[in-house]
Amino acid sequence: MLSNHLRDVKWYGLIGMLMLPVAFAVQAKELPEGTVISASNYQQIANDTFEGHTIKSMITPAIKLQIMKYGTKIPLVHSNPQDVRFSPAWSKAMKANAGKYTLNSEHKIAQQSFFTKGHGAPFPMNTIDWKKNPAKAGWKLVWDYWFASPVRTNNWAAIGNEAMVKSDKGIINRVQAINAVESLDARWGNGPAHTGASASMHRNFLLVLTKPFDVAGIGIFNVQFSDGSPSAGYVYLRSLRRTRRTASGKSWVDPQPQADLLNDDSGGLQGYPAWYKSWKVLGTKYVLVAVTQPDVNYRDQGPVNGAFIDLAHAPHWNMINTEYQPRKVYVIQGIPPDYHPYGKKVLYMDTQYPFFYYGEFYDKNMKLWKLWYTPFAPYWNGDCKGQPGLENFATYAVDFKAKRMTYIKQVFNAHNCDVLDGMQPTVLKRAASGSLLKKFNKMQEHYLSKPPLPQYAEIEKAWVAKHQK
């Protein structure tokens, strides 16, 4: 009897095992390009795959909240490795650093020569073994980003039209800001590695409001240091018409003016990495990123409108007309110091290039607080050196507690332009007078007059035909 019974079990088991792939095939399928992930279909397709990765594995906690609670829709397109490309000179500099640099016990770069003579990212990404030592890998990756992010390059300037949105009211405020960053160390390409006046000068950072009228010139110019010294900060006092020093010791954890971002959140991470208590890689995975938005220099230059944000429907902050493709990322966790408002930052960094697509910021109780997201766009006409690169199409930050969102619509981006070097605190005054905007307008005119890179010629032609007379 028993043997008969066992035989039955064996048969059922065998039949069950044979049926399993069939059942799985019925439940989980590969989704076609054009599939739109939304609250209405998420549960059905969570276990389906796109390019072999399950949907639920590619949806991070904040994105899931956006989809399920706030109605975000995510259209899928196939990935194309060519969509994430940067200047070959950047890769060359990083590769040349193989084996040159190590971390000391304080998780900082041990070799002092790097700060004055090192070019590009200190730790070639293909040499980083995160499984062997997740903490060390975390530190190396954030240093790569901090010294040589390819979406910052040797210098970067941008004009952003900002809108602050409340989930029940729509747009409640608008400002315009200029953001410019000039690397003073780890520069790559043909020029010198270090251009700062003192050995540990790291970069000049400008974030200044240009509109509306009463705030034009209000902002900050910082000189940051690569040894963790507090930044030297300058502000322009508009009604007094003079620039003066500001107490900048902990200003890196302060909110950006009127916005839902901290100064530390620019690019995902702006503060000196070693001011954080720890960094570590939590793993690698595929997530959904936007890297094929239209070149910002070609988009309409007006204030934030409904072209890429669904302003018409609550919560008035969902991105629209944006396509997402799978891309492999490092999931990196940073624990900030006690005086930082966040309990932790989880950042998603490309595995080939050290820059972040988005980040999830948690409060001190480790409850999800903010989502920071940057869709990217290619330079159709190349950067100032004629090389391919990605520019910030927008900066998107949702504060889930305050139910607010800050959207920075980039209307001008320039990378690797010699004319952006040599920033001084007096640049704040030039922002207030409008002459900096004029300079950027001229740079943009010049950019638009350049021929497109061959790979973008058709896209550019189609865009121009559709949007310009």
Question: In the complex, which residues of this chain contact other proteins (CB under 8 A)?
Answer: 164, 172-176, 197-198, 200-201, 211-214, 223, 225, 227, 229-230, 232-234, 238-242, 244-251, 253-255, 257-260, 302-303, 339, 341, 404, 422, 424-426, 433-435, 438, 441
- For other proteins, the closer CB: 206 or 377: 206
Overall size of the chain counted in residues: 469
Place of tokens 């019974």: 5
- For other proteins, the closer CB: 134 or 228: 228
Residue 398 is classified by DSSP as E
* CB of 303 vs other proteins, minimal distance in Å: 5
* CB of 219 vs other proteins, minimal distance in Å: 13
Residue 387: how many CB atoms within 10 A of its CB? 19
- For other proteins, the closer CB: 234 or 286: 234
- For other proteins, the closer CB: 344 or 404: 404
Question: Nearest Cα to 440, choosing from 317, 339, 301?
Answer: 301
- For other proteins, the closer CB: 209 or 281: 209
Which residues, in sequence order, are bridge partners of residue 179? Answer: 158, 207
Residue 353: how many CB atoms within 10 A of its CB? 21
How far does Cα 322 stand from its chain's mean position? 16
- For other proteins, the closer CB: 69 or 169: 169
CA distance 242 to 237: 6
* CB of 311 vs other proteins, minimal distance in Å: 13
* CB of 104 vs other proteins, minimal distance in Å: 19
* CB of 165 vs other proteins, minimal distance in Å: 12
Cβ atoms 275, 228 nearer than 8 A: yes
Residue 273 is classified by DSSP as G
* CB of 238 vs other proteins, minimal distance in Å: 8
Structure tokens at 235: 């502000």
> H-helix or E-strand containing 277?
none
CA distance 221 to 233: 6
* CB of 168 vs other proteins, minimal distance in Å: 15
Q: Is 147 helix (H, G, I), strand (E, B) or coil?
A: helix
- For other proteins, the closer CB: 72 or 204: 204
